[in-house]
Structure 1
Amino acid sequence: MIPPRGTRTARMLAAAAVITSATLAIAACSGASSDDTAGSAAVSAPPASFPGDAAKGPTVKIGLINNEGGQAISQPDNRLAAEAAAKYANAHLGGIGGHPIELVTCKNAEDPTSARDCANRMVENKVSAVVVTTTGLGDLLVPIITGAGIPYVSASGQSSQELTGDDVFLWTGGFPSALSAMATHAKSQNMKNVTAFTIDVPAAVNGLKTMGAAAFAANGVGLDIVTIPPGTPDATPQVSAGLSKNPEAVLVVGEGTLCTAALKSLGTLGYSGEKMGIQACATPDVAKAVGSSIDGTKIVTAALTDGDDPESVLYQSVMGQYAPDADISGYAYVGYQGVLGLVRATRSLDGSDVSPTAVTTAIRSARDVTLPAGDGLTFTCNGAANPQLKAVCGKGSVFATLENGKLVDAEVVGR
């Protein structure tokens, strides 16, 4: 990811876009990746995962909008992962309805003009669906896309239009599921007092104040929220203030810079309670910067990308074959989940009709679709996963422990 730079407005836009994926299922890596972690390793998936069922005939156009090329934020690896998923599906899964997927890609610079342009281009190209990797501008994108009768799909979302809009489908439970998993874990450990250290952007702070406070309260746990400005290199003053209430656990919400600052401060201050965080806090760069004090941190995510379960192995194998130069240690998986999730959710299409209406109907009728790289998570887009947020199709999260830079002892909770 290109590090945030420029004005405070640009930094806030970047942070908001990062929080879209990091907290609502999840953000971009902070800074450049270490040389020893970048790139896709060669991993062999079971032969059955590559049946060679190639798509044939006329293509089906699928839109892809990725936050890329802007001054404040750029995540090209998300696009590379989406492209890899499409290539894999075309070569081995029959594409969509037997038709090869033709991605119509638009790079969203994460400003209103760029977002509207991307949405309008999808309509002009008459795509059958639009996959959005991550964005902080869903309220602008959704009305244009779904207003044209085109389904809008993503691994997760944050805006009101994304979470509650008609013809919007979000494969994962996102931030609500992550917060619910953390709250349930706190209750299971008989905790009564938890402090959240969060990046000071609306998507994160408002989510914690509304969904987070409610989830923890429902489990009999108090939640104190401490905000940290974006880009803060040393969060010791904020962390020290948050520890003054002697929390039994802390949780960290933000992108890589925030995770590094907060977790380093916790180590410096000698905090010995339990630590929880989102996947942005588990990247190799963060683990290296924080050091051994990060070990034992509980990470809540919607994907497990470096494990040995079948979905993790498949992700590594597909990326190694079709996007070998992509960095898969961070959040590239949101592009992979978006495209391959769409392929799996439309398996009922027989190829005679791959129009937007047919795609929407197929998605609504699919049941218990395996979430790509989801360690056993599934999704069903019938509005029942979270009745208050009808676009959310999945529930549950992957709960794992960070040890020596790796996520271990992963389990699915809240499903």
Structure 2
Amino acid sequence: MVRFGEDGGILGGRREHGGGGRRWFAAAAVAAMAMGTMAGCSEDRAADSATSTTTTVPASTAACAEDLLACLGRSSLGDIAPTEPSEATGEPIVLGMINQENTPLGSYPELSSATRAAIEFVNAELGGVNGRPIQLEVCNTEFSPEGSTACAQGFVQDGVPAVLGGIDVFGNGIDTLEENAIPFVGGIPVSTQSVTNDNSYQWSGGTWGATIAFANHAATEVEAEKVAIVYPEFGPITSSAEYGRTTLANLGVTDVAMVPYPITATDLSSPIQAAASNDPDAIVMLAADMGCKGAFDGFATVGVTAKVYLVGACASPAIIEEAGPEKTDGTVFNVEGPIDRSEANVDFALYQAVAEKYGDGFDPIGAGTVTFRSFMNLYRIMVGLDEADLTPAGISEALGAQVDAPSFMGHPSTCDREQLDGLPALCSPQQILAEMTGGELIQIGDWVDVGAIYGAG
């Protein structure tokens, strides 16, 4: 294993919330990376690419905007679509949401904005749940473990039947909810608790799913004999890198170089140089957000010829345009929804249309797709329950009973806590891979069942 020291000018002895600057700065970087990773996982990049000639998604979105109910009927949640619109009335059902907003170390209001848009749609046109409107209470962790716990404690006192996830690097609140048997549903799975706690239900594979899919492709398609995994050294991301190494070993690839680097680093040439020194056939790079440009620049500077894998955030049209095709073509990315435009993506078109009609101006191309999906999947559960079962226990039981259930803008989900070994909260960790070609993402094959590859729980 190769290790690199800190970039001395990055941390500067900064202190926040009474803790060490290194801890808080690193955690902030994790939040940014998690957001970037999930945004890339869920965006419809093929439709947004400047070089794409596809017009299916805009046409579908326009059609959805004309009749949201009809569009819902054609979506993956068509079985719960009413025939006529109806507005919810009566006593509201209050749901909680834990998110990080309005802090100097990162603010992600688009996650709650997307959820609110979905709820407005449900209340105004779908009749809420059993005729009752849903009310969302968002609690801001203010980027601290104490804030995470305080949010959960408040929701316990309020007696909410479920809490939706936004982003919470620390995850302490999930522990508090688990102690009180309240389900924690969806969001950005970045904390250890979000992927392991018994009360957590996630419709994503996070960086774990991405790394397994990359490792499988490198071993089976590239037929790599030597692989390097380059990753920012911090908790869950390190865990994801280890999942990749185990996957490679299980597939017969034992010459694997693990190359961690400080998560606050901006110049990635040194770790990339170390990764390339063993002349690998493939390099898995777990960088996102600001690290994407550094990764593309580093690969070009070092002259890497190996197959390169990067998380979906790095396929952002803005990043790809800035880097240019010489640096990006041939790179493989992960996504968590089909981007093959041979058929209209009705789920994504509905999401965009709802965001346009009921949103507060948030950008629908981004991580809001994740929280919108989370709520719509929870809503599907809730409308199937009797009034007496709209409780933490009733919702948890219904979530746990899901087998190949539709997941909005995602792979069908099974919440039996056995989809991916060691990560029982992941209900649908499956991934899709896509390769950048001429500035456009081209889907490679179908869904990758990362649980089957790594080993189910």
TM-score (normalizing by structure 1):
0.86
Matches within 5 A, 1:28-67: 43-46=61-64, 47=67, 48-50=70-72, 52-67=85-100
Q: Distance in 2 between matches of 1:144 and 1:257?
A: 33
Q: Distance in 2 between matches of 1:196 and 1:111?
A: 30
Matches within 5 A, 1:109-148: 109-138=142-171, 140-148=172-180
Residue aligning to 2:449: 414
Q: Which has the larger radius of gyration?
A: 2
Q: Distance in 1 between matches of 2:34 and 2:373?
A: 15
- Which of 249, 268, 277 is the aligned partner of 1:244? 277
Residue aligning to 1:382: 416
**How many Å apart are 1:129 and its aligned residue?**
0.4
Residue aligning to 1:400: 434
Deviates more, 1:17-26 or 1:263-272: 17-26
Question: Deviation string for 1:99-152 (max 9, x for gaps)?
Answer: 3210011122221221122112211222110011222111x1112112223111
Matches within 5 A, 1:178-217: 178-189=210-221, 190-209=223-242, 211-217=243-249
RMSD (Å), alpha carbons: 3.0
**How many Å apart are 1:195 and its aligned residue?**
1.6
Residue aligning to 1:219: 251
What secondary structure is seen at the aligned counterpart in 2 of 1:191?
Answer: coil
Find out whether 1:13 has 2:13 as its counterpart.
Answer: no
Q: Distance in 1 between matches of 2:26 and 2:42?
A: 14
Q: Distance in 1 between matches of 2:162 and 2:244?
A: 32
Question: Deviation string for 1:327-369 (max 9, x for gaps)?
Answer: 2333222221221121123342133442222211221223322
Runs (4+) off by over 6 Å? 24-29
**How many Å apart are 1:25 and its aligned residue?**
9.0
Q: Distance in 2 between matches of 1:383 and 1:68?
A: 30
In the alignment, structure 2 segments of 5+ residues that lack a partner are: 1-10, 15-20, 44-49, 51-57, 73-81, 451-457
Residue aligning to 2:120: 87
**How many Å apart are 1:200 and its aligned residue?**
2.8
2:211–2:244: 8 Å Cα contact kept in structure 1? yes
Change (3 A) 1:276 1:265: same
Letter in 2 for 1:112: P
- Which of 300, 314, 317 is the aligned partner of 2:334? 300
- Which of 168, 185, 204 is the aligned partner of 1:172? 204
Residue aligning to 1:32: none
- Which of 298, 303, 307 is the aligned partner of 1:274? 307
Residue aligning to 1:367: 403
Deviates more, 1:354-363 or 1:222-231: 222-231
Residue aligning to 2:17: none
Aligned length: 399
1:19–1:203: 8 Å Cα contact kept in structure 2? no
What secondary structure is seen at the aligned counterpart in 2 of 1:194?
Answer: strand
What secondary structure is seen at the aligned counterpart in 1 of 2:260?
Answer: strand
Q: Distance in 1 between matches of 2:443 and 2:193?
A: 36
Change (3 A) 1:45 1:173: farther
Change (3 A) 1:404 1:346: farther
Larger helix proportion, structure 1 or 2?
2
Change (3 A) 1:25 1:323: closer
Letter in 2 for 1:402: M
2:407–2:413: 8 Å Cα contact kept in structure 1? yes
What secondary structure is seen at the aligned counterpart in 1 of 2:263?
Answer: coil
Letter in 2 for 1:358: G
Letter in 1 for 2:412: T
Q: Distance in 2 between matches of 1:25 and 1:392?
A: 18
Question: Deviation string for 1:353-393 (max 9, x for gaps)?
Answer: 4222221122122332222222xx11121223235332221
Find out whether 1:230 has 2:248 as its counterpart.
Answer: no
**How many Å apart are 1:62 and its aligned residue?**
0.8
1:156–1:174: 8 Å Cα contact kept in structure 2? yes
- Which of 129, 148, 153 is the aligned partner of 2:185? 153
Q: Distance in 2 between matches of 1:170 and 1:407?
A: 26
TM-score (normalizing by structure 2):
0.79
In the alignment, structure 1 segments of 5+ residues that lack a partner are: 30-35
Q: Distance in 2 between matches of 1:278 and 1:118?
A: 30
Find out whether 1:341 has 2:341 as its counterpart.
Answer: no
1:197–1:226: 8 Å Cα contact kept in structure 2? yes
Q: Distance in 1 between matches of 2:179 and 2:141?
A: 19
1:80–1:335: 8 Å Cα contact kept in structure 2? no
